[in-house]
Amino acid sequence: MATFDTPCVVALGVVKNKVFYLEVESGKKAEEYIGVEIDSAEPGISGEFITGHLAIASFSTTIVKGVALAKPVYVLDLEGLKPLAKRAVTLRHVKAREFGAWEPVWNKPLYLTDASPSVAVGVSRAGSLLHINAVPSDIELAKKIWATAKVLQRGGELNLNCTCRLGLMPYEIFVRRGNRYIVAKFYLNASSPRSKKAFFIMGEGGNVLQRKEVDVAEAEITAFEFINLL
């Protein structure tokens, strides 16, 4: 995980099994090994343009926004797995804080490819610090999470959240009906055996009424089972 002081704009990209970070205005750099090879897009500055897979901007106390640069990036949120806004970003844009066309990405996983293996990037804030976490991941898992969310959405109000600062990058689907709720949890980091499992809890108030651990392949069926109990 890489950490930067805010306000900041960070370009990142994957080259030869590593993710590289560049804080555009200060020049601060960081890197980490992720063990996944995808089409390279090294972060940097070419003339006036920012290069890399992805740029992240964080300012104020609650704003984290992102935009795809050289190649498509995909975000998993309440609209499903969809392309992130893609823009040519210049140093002038950064200095003028022109981020209106960028998308909110706080605690939303960002996939650097639409095929497996992929790299999932998660961005979060803690006080004045911006944390960016990158892990090897599986795009088919992202699709399974969204399919499970669509099933659980039948039960009531749906919320999705990725705890991006944690190494396993847990992703939770939460649905509530009255006093009862269902939580389905997945782990996006493909280097962990936990990424092969889905975890379901049904509760009421502070009490857990039922819990179940299943293979990811069974997540949709289990979601139907839990909806029938809600």
CB proximity list for 206: less than 8 A, separation 6 or greater: none
Does residue 61 carry a pLDDT above 80?
A: no
Can you tell me the distance from the alpha carbon of 70 to that of 144, in angstroms, rounded to the nearest whole number?
Answer: 27
Q: What is the mean pLDDT of the chain?
A: 94
pLDDT for residue 165: 86
Q: Where are the domains of the chain?
A: 2-137, 140-228
pLDDT at residue number 35: 93
Residues 143-165 have pLDDT tens digits of 999 999 999 999 988 999 999 88
DSSP state of 154: G
Residue 72: pLDDT band with limits 50, 70, 90: very high
What confidence tier does 59 reach under pLDDT thresholds 50, 70, 90? confident
Number of CB atoms found within 10 A of residue 107's CB: 18
Q: What local confidence, expressed as pLDDT, does residue 7 receive?
A: 93
Distance CA 211, CA 195 (A): 18
Classify 178 in phi/psi space as left (phi over 0), alpha (psi -120 to 50) or beta: left
pLDDT at 116 over 80: yes
pLDDT digits (tens, 9 = 90+) for 23-39: 999 999 999 999 998 99
> How confident is the model at residue 175, as a pLDDT?
96
Q: Which amino acid is at 85?
A: A
Q: What percent of the chain has pLDDT over 70?
A: 100
Q: Is the per-residue pLDDT at 205 higher than 80?
A: yes
Instruction: State the pLDDT confidence band at 100, using cuts at 50, 70 and 90.
Output: confident
At residue 206, the pLDDT reads 83
Does residue 140 contact residue 148 with C-beta atoms inside 8 Å? no
3: Cα separation from own chain's centroid: 16
**What are the tokens at 205?**
């108030």
60: pLDDT strictly greater than 80: no
